C-alpha cells in the first residue's frame, strides 16, 4: 500500500516527465528533417491513436479533452504555418489567437470536470452539443464582427492587475485561473492519475500559448505531450483497476500471479488470513469489516521493511512475497506484523445513535458511545526448496501452513517445515 504522499507523487510523475520532455524538445533550435516531419504529424497521430484508445475503454471525458486540445492546435498551427511561409501573420491571426487563449482553458476545464454520469450516448450528444455551440458562437462572432471582437478581447479591464510580463489577453488569465482552481479542487477531492494529468496538461498549455509564434514547433510538441498525458493517465488507471485492489490499495491477485513468474531461485511466500472474519463481519457489519481489511492491509504493507511485498489474495486472505530471502530472515518480520495487528484497538461507535454533526461526533469520541475491538491474523509460510518446483507449489505449501496455524489456535505464524517435521507448533510470542 502506497502512503498518501507517495501515491499522489506517482499520479503526477508520468505527466511531469512528458511535460519536461516537451519543454526540452521545444527549446531545441536546430532540428533535422526527420524531427521536423515528425512534429508536423505528431499531434494528429496522437489524437488518432489516443482517441481510439479512449474510445475502446469508453472514456469520453478524456476523448473530448484531447479533441479540445487538438482543435486549438489546428487553429493556431494554421496561423503559424502561414507566418513561417510568408514572414507575416494573417489578418485574422490576432482574433483567432486571442479566442483560443480565452476558450481553451474554459473548454478544457469544463470537459475535465464533466464526469460521465448518464447514458454514454446521451453524454456523447451533450458534449458534442456544447463543443459545437461554443465553436459556432465563436466562429460567428469572428466572421461577423472581427474588429469589435478583437477590441473586446484585448481590452484591459483591470489595469491594476495588469503586468508587463503578461503576453496573453487579460481575460485568458482569468479563465486559466478558474480552470486551475477547478482542477486543483477536483484532484484534492478525488486524487487520481487522470486528474493529475489534467492539471499538468493545463499547465503545459499555459506555458505553450505565449510561445506559439516565438519557438518553432512549440505548439506541435506541447499539444502532443498534453494529449499523451491524458492517454497515459487512462493507461495508468486501467493498470490500477486490473492490478491493484481498490478497497485496500494493495496489489491484487493478478499482480501476484505476474510477480510469481519473475521470482528467482530463493524466495519465501506467506499466506495470511483474518481470524474469525465472517463472524466479525456478521456481528459488526460490512463497513466495519472493510475497515478491518484496510487496517490489516496497512500493517502488512509495512512488511517492505523486511524485504517483502503484500498482496490482496481475495476475501480476507493476503499473500506476502519475500524475494531473495530465507525462512529464517522472514519469520521475525512476520511475527512483528502479527503482534502489531493483534495489539491494535479498533474504535467502534454506536450505529443506532449517530451524531448529528462533526462537533457532536468529536465530543462523543473515546467516550461511552465508543467500544474497542481487536482482530488477529494467522500466517502460514513456505520457503522454496528442492521439492517445490514452482511458485504455485510453494504458495500451496504456505496455504497448508496457514490451515495448520488456524488449527494451532490462530493468531500465530507457522512454517511449512514445522507442519511437515513436528506438526503445528505455535509461534506467537507469549509474554
What lies within 8 Å, CB to CB, of 35 at 6+ separation is none
Q: Does 2 fall in a domain?
A: no
β-strand partners of 373: 346
Contact 186, 113 (CB under 8 A): yes
Instruction: Quote the CA–CA distance of 107 and 392 in Å, as a whole number.
Output: 51
Instruction: Quote the CA–CA distance of 265 and 252 in Å, as a whole number.
Output: 23
Q: How many domains does the chain have?
A: 2
Instruction: Say which CATH number the domain at 259 has.
Output: 3.30.70.270
Question: Which of 217, 243, 269 is the endpoint of a domain?
Answer: 243
Determine which helix (DSSP H) or strand (DSSP E) holds 267, and give its type and residue range. strand 267-274
Determine which helix (DSSP H) or strand (DSSP E) holds 377, and give its type and residue range. strand 377-383
Q: Does 258 fall in a domain?
A: yes
Strands of 308-314's sheet, edge to edge?
Answer: 308-314, 317-323, 267-274, 377-383, 413-415
Looking at the structure, tell me whether residues 112 and 229 fall in a common domain: yes
Q: Does 3 fall in a domain?
A: no
Contact 183, 12 (CB under 8 A): no
Looking at the structure, tell me whether residues 259 and 218 fall in a common domain: no
Looking at the structure, tell me whether residues 79 and 139 fall in a common domain: yes
Dihedral pair phi/psi, residue 292, rounded to 5°: -65, -45
Looking at the structure, tell me whether residues 188 and 287 fall in a common domain: no
Find the domain containing 84 and state its range.
9-243
Q: Does 61 fall in a domain?
A: yes
| Grid cell at residue 58 | 469508453
| Grid cell at residue 199 | 492539471
The reported pLDDT for the residue numbered 430 is 36
Q: Does 181 fall in a domain?
A: yes
Dihedral pair phi/psi, residue 60, rounded to 5°: -70, -35
Contact 205, 104 (CB under 8 A): yes
* DSSP-derived 3-state class of residue 313: strand
The reported pLDDT for the residue numbered 98 is 95
Annotated catalytic residue within 62, 246, 258, 316: 316
Question: Which of 224, 243, 262 is the endpoint of a domain?
Answer: 243
Between 60-86 and 193-208, two packed helices, what is the crossing angle to 10 degrees? 20
Question: Which of 223, 243, 263 is the endpoint of a domain?
Answer: 243
Secondary structure of 163-178 in HEC code, one letter for each residue? CCCCCCCHHHHHHHHH
DSSP assignment string, 318-331: EEEEEET--HHHHH
Q: Does 228 fall in a domain?
A: yes
Distance, CA of 399 to chain centre: 33
The reported pLDDT for the residue numbered 428 is 41
Contact 17, 196 (CB under 8 A): no
Looking at the structure, tell me whether residues 49 and 189 fall in a common domain: yes
The reported pLDDT for the residue numbered 262 is 84
The per-type count for the chain, helices as H runs and strands as E runs, is 16, 7
Instruction: Quote the CA–CA distance of 343 and 352 in Å, as a whole number.
Output: 27
Q: Does 260 fall in a domain?
A: yes
Contact 107, 47 (CB under 8 A): no
Looking at the structure, tell me whether residues 260 and 224 fall in a common domain: no
Q: What is the pLDDT of residues 291-309, one digit of tens each?
A: 889 989 999 988 888 889 9
Looking at the structure, tell me whether residues 215 and 310 fall in a common domain: no
**Residue 316 bears catalytic tag:** yes
Taking 50 as the pLDDT cut, the residues of the chain under it are: 353-355, 357-358, 361-369, 422-431
What lies within 8 Å, CB to CB, of 57 at 6+ separation is 234, 238
What lies within 8 Å, CB to CB, of 89 at 6+ separation is 79, 82, 83, 213
Looking at the structure, tell me whether residues 204 and 298 fall in a common domain: no
Contact 336, 287 (CB under 8 A): no
Determine which helix (DSSP H) or strand (DSSP E) holds 345, and give its type and residue range. none
The reported pLDDT for the residue numbered 151 is 92
Looking at the structure, tell me whether residues 417 and 307 fall in a common domain: yes
Instruction: Quote the CA–CA distance of 93 and 154 in Å, as a whole number.
Output: 13
Looking at the structure, tell me whether residues 166 and 307 fall in a common domain: no
Looking at the structure, tell me whether residues 67 and 179 fall in a common domain: yes
Q: Does 179 fall in a domain?
A: yes
Looking at the structure, tell me whether residues 110 and 138 fall in a common domain: yes
Amino acid at each position: 500500500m502506497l502512503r498518501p504522499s507517495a501515491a499522489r507523487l506517482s499520479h503526477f510523475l508520468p505527466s511531469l516527465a512528458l511535460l519536461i520532455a516537451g519543454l526540452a524538445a521545444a527549446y531545441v533550435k536546430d532540428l533535422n528533417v526527420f524531427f521536423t516531419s515528425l512534429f508536423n504529424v505528431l499531434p494528429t497521430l496522437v489524437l488518432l491513436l489516443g482517441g481510439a484508445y479512449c474510445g475502446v475503454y469508453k472514456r469520453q471525458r478524456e476523448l473530448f479533452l484531447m479533441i479540445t486540445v487538438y482543435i486549438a492546435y489546428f487553429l493556431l498551427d494554421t496561423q503559424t504555418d502561414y507566418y513561417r511561409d510568408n514572414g507575416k501573420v494573417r489578418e485574422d491571426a490576432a482574433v483567432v489567437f486571442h479566442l483560443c487563449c480565452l476558450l481553451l482553458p474554459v473548454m478544457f476545464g469544463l470537459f475535465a470536470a464533466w464526469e460521465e454520469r448518464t447514458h454514454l450516448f446521451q453524454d456523447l450528444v451533450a458534449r458534442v452539443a456544447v463543443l459545437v455551440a461554443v465553436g459556432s458562437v465563436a466562429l460567428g462572432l469572428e466572421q461577423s464582427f472581427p474588429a469589435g471582437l478583437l477590441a473586446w478581447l484585448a481590452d484591459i479591464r483591470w489595469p491594476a492587475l495588469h503586468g508587463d510580463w503578461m503576453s496573453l489577453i487579460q481575460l485568458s488569465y482569468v479563465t486559466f485561473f478558474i480552470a486551475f482552481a477547478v482542477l486543483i479542487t477536483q484532484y484534492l477531492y478525488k486524487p487520481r492519475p487522470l486528474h493529475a494529468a489534467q492539471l499538468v496538461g493545463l499547465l503545459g498549455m499555459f506555458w505553450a500559448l505565449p510561445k506559439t509564434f516565438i519557438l518553432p514547433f512549440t505548439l506541435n510538441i506541447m499539444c502532443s505531450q498534453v494529449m499523451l498525458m491524458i492517454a497515459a493517465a487512462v493507461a495508468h488507471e486501467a493498470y490500477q483497476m486490473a492490478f491493484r485492489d481498490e478497497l485496500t490499495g494493495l496489489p491484487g491477485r493478478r499482480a501476484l500471479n505476474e510477480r510469481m513468474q519473475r521470482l528467482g531461485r530463493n524466495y519465501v511466500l506467506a499466506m495470511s488470513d483474518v481470524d474469525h472474519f465472517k463472524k466479525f463481519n456478521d456481528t459488526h457489519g460490512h463497513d466495519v469489516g472493510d475497515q478491518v481489511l484496510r487496517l490489516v492491509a496497512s500493517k502488512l504493507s509495512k512488511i517492505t521493511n523486511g524485504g517483502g511485498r503484500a498482496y490482496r489474495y481475495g476475501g480476507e486472505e493476503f499473500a506476502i512475497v519475500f524475494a531473495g530471502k530465507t525462512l529464517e530472515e522472514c519469520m521475525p518480520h512476520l511475527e512483528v506484523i502479527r503482534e502489531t495487528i493483534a495489539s491494535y484497538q479498533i474504535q467502534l461507535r454506536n450505529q443506532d445513535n449517530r451524531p448529528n454533526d462533526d462537533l457532536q461526533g468529536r465530543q462523543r469520541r473515546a467516550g461511552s458511545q465508543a467500544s474497542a475491538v481487536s482482530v488477529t491474523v494467522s500466517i502460514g509460510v513456505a520457503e522454496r526448496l528442492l521439492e517445490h518446483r514452482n511458485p504455485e507449489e510453494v504458495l500451496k505449501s504456505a496455504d497448508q501452513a496457514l490451515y495448520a496455524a488456524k488449527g494451532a489456535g490462530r493468531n500465530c505464524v507457522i512454517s511449512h517445515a514445522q507442519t511437515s517435521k513436528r506438526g503445528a507448533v505455535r509461534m506467537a510470542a507469549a509474554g
